[in-house]
Amino acid sequence: MNVLAINSSESTLSAALNLDGETRSRQKISDRNHNLFVLVMIDDLLSDAGISMQQLDGIAFGEGPGSFTGLRISAGVAQGIAFGADIPALPVSCLAAIAQKQCQKKVVAAIDAKRSQVYWACYVRNSSAVMNLQDKEQLTRVSGLKLQGSGWYGAGSGWDSNADRFYRQNENLIADWAAQQKPHAEEIALIGRNLLQSDQGRPAYLAIPNYMSPYSSH
C-alpha cells in the first residue's frame, strides 16, 4: 500500500511517501511560496522511489487547523492528485499529526490560534500505535484548555506559548510537554495509511480544508 502525504499548514512544508509501511520524506522551511515547492518535492519523492502517481493507493494531507493559505494549497494539490490518479483523498488533522509524533500514550496537542486562543484536542494511542481522538477538536480561549484524568503530555505551538498557564489550569494532570512540535507529512502519511486500511478514504471532491476560524471563537 503506497500513500503520499503533504502538509503546508505551517512554515515547514513537508511531503512524505509511505511505501508498504516504510516512510521517506522531504521538507522545506519557508514562510511563503509553498505552492512553488510542493510539486517539486512530490516529483522528487516519487522519482527516488521509482513509482508513478498511478501506483499510489491514496493521498493524505494536513486538513487543519493551520494557515488559511497553507491549508488551501495542501487540499488543492491533494484534490488534483486524487482526481488525476483516481485514488481516495485522506484528510488528516494537524493536531492528530502532532500527537502521533510523540512517544507517549496520552497527548494533548495544541496549536496557537493567536488572539489568546488555541486549537486543541486529546489523543490516546491505540493497540495499533495510532492516536485516537478523544471527544472532539476544539477552538477555545487559552483558559478553556482543561483536562480530565492524569498523565497527559503536551505538544504543539500552543504549548510553546502557554505551557505555564496550562499547568496552572490542570494541576497535577500534566506529566510533561515537548517544545517546538509541528505537524509533519511523515505522521500524516502514517495516519492516512491507517484511514485507507479502515476504508475511510474520501472522493477527490471532498479533499477540503477543515477551517476553524479564531475570529468566531468565544
pLDDT of residue 34 exceeding 80, the answer is no
2-94+183-216 and 95-178 share one fold? yes
Cα–Cα separations (whole angstroms), residue 211 to 13, 19, 56, 184, 208: 18, 30, 27, 18, 9
pLDDT band at 130 (very low <50, low <70, confident <90, very high): very high
pLDDT band at 213 (very low <50, low <70, confident <90, very high): low
Q: Please give the sequence-ordered ranges of beta strands (E in DSSP) within the chain, or none if there are none.
A: 2-7, 12-19, 22-29, 58-64, 89-93, 106-114, 117-125, 131-141, 152-155, 174-178
Regarding the domain with residue range 2-94+183-216, which homologous superfamily does it belong to in the CATH classification?
ATPase, nucleotide binding domain (3.30.420.40)
Residues 92, 94: Cα–Cα separation, whole Å: 6
Q: What's residue 217's pLDDT?
A: 45
94-101 and 185-197 are packed helices; what angle lies between their axes, rounded to 10 degrees? 100
pLDDT band at 37 (very low <50, low <70, confident <90, very high): confident
pLDDT of residue 212 exceeding 50, the answer is yes
The helix or strand, by DSSP H or E, that contains position 78, with its residue range, turns out to be helix 68-85
Cα 80–Cα 10–Cα 203 angle in degrees, nearest 5? 25
8 A C-beta contact, residue 139 and residue 185: no
Whole-structure pTM value: 0.94
Write the single-letter amino acid at 161: S
* Domain segments of the chain as ranges: 2-94+183-216, 95-178
Residues 208, 191: Cα–Cα separation, whole Å: 17
Regarding the domain with residue range 95-178, which homologous superfamily does it belong to in the CATH classification?
ATPase, nucleotide binding domain (3.30.420.40)
pLDDT of residue 70 exceeding 80, the answer is yes
Which backbone phi and psi does 173 adopt, to 5 degrees? Answer: -100, -15
| Strand partners of residue 2 | 19
pLDDT of residue 193 exceeding 70, the answer is yes
